């Protein structure tokens, strides 16, 4: 059974997928608006999902993890939970960064547009822009992002933005693509099979440096 975890987005997601058959099947999916409380919600929700399916943690054979960029509070919990489960069960973790995930969502939910770009929240005054599925996003202020979109004639945008940021880019069409981790894993199972699992603990990709320093002795 595959466990999918996404705590890198404004919507937190858990998905359990049966991968014992040639065609994968979504067993159970839960999502909720992140309120920086994953520390108290994530594991209880996962435990409840397993209980509903009459499964245990030992039934998990593979992890697919969204690694960020994402906010510090939510992302560190998801990464820690995934690394801990993988270590205890000795199972592989296959990482997808936030840009890869949202481009897969776009492929599943949106018709092809030549002049669209992915925008990801990077603080109230910043966004990452990924102009194609092959490119990692670069960080821009909102004003810089607007200039970039104008210079590249990009009239369609999608991604994980606040309502205020969507309003800032109101001269462009925002395509409201919804997170759907379970369906994305199933629809792209062949592609995800080709991702090499990490043997070491996965490192989170934070939106910005959390500012944590090592205590002085």
Nearest residue to 173 (alpha-carbon basis) of 124, 132, 113 = 113
Spell out where 49-187 has E strands: 62-66, 93-96, 116-121, 126-130, 138-141, 156-160, 173-175
Q: Burial letters for 87-114: b for 16+ Cβ neighbours within 10 Å, e otherwise?
A: eebebebbbbbbbbbbbbbbeeeeeeee
pLDDT score at 150:
96
- Ordered per-residue pLDDT tens for the chain, 217 residues: 999 999 999 999 999 999 876 668 999 999 999 988 888 999 999 999 999 999 999 999 999 999 999 988 889 999 999 999 999 999 999 999 999 999 999 887 765 667 899 999 999 999 999 999 888 999 999 999 999 999 999 999 999 999 999 999 999 999 999 999 999 999 887 777 777 777 678 888 888 654 433 444 4
7 C-beta neighbours (distance < 10 Å), count: 28
Nearest residue to 78 (alpha-carbon basis) of 89, 68, 87 = 68
Question: Rounded CA gap, 60 and 119, in Å?
Answer: 33
Question: Rounded CA gap, 177 and 145, in Å?
Answer: 20
Q: Kindly state the tokens that stand for 212.
A: 């944590």
- Report the predicted TM-score, pTM, of the whole model to 2 decimal places: 0.91
Token look-up 């002085």 returns 216
pLDDT score at 111:
58
- Strand 62-66 and strand 93-96: the pairing is parallel
């Amino acid at each position: 059974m595959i466990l999918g975890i996404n705590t890198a987005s404004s919507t937190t997601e858990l998905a359990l997928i049966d991968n014992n058959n040639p065609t994968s099947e979504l067993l159970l999916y839960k999502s909720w608006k992140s309120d920086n409380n994953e520390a108290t919600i994530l594991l209880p929700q996962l435990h409840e999902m397993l209980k509903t399916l009459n499964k245990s943690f030992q039934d998990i054979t593979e992890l697919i993890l969204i690694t960020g960029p994402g906010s510090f509070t939510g992302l560190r919990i998801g990464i820690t939970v995934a690394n801990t489960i993988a270590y205890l069960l000795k199972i592989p973790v296959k990482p997808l960064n936030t840009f890869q995930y949202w481009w897969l969502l776009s492929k599943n939910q949106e018709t092809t547009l030549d002049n669209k770009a992915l925008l990801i929240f990077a603080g109230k005054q910043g966004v990452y822009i990924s102009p194609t599925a092959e490119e990692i996003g670069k960080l821009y202020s909102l004003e810089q992002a607007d200039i970039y979109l104008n210079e590249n004639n990009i009239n369609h945008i999608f991604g994980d933005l606040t309502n205020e940021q969507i309003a800032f880019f109101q001269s462009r069409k925002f395509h409201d693509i919804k997170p759907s981790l379970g369906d994305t894993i199933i629809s792209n199972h062949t592609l995800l099979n080709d991702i090499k699992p990490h043997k070491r603990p996965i490192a989170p990709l934070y939106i910005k440096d959390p500012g944590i320093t090592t205590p002085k002795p």
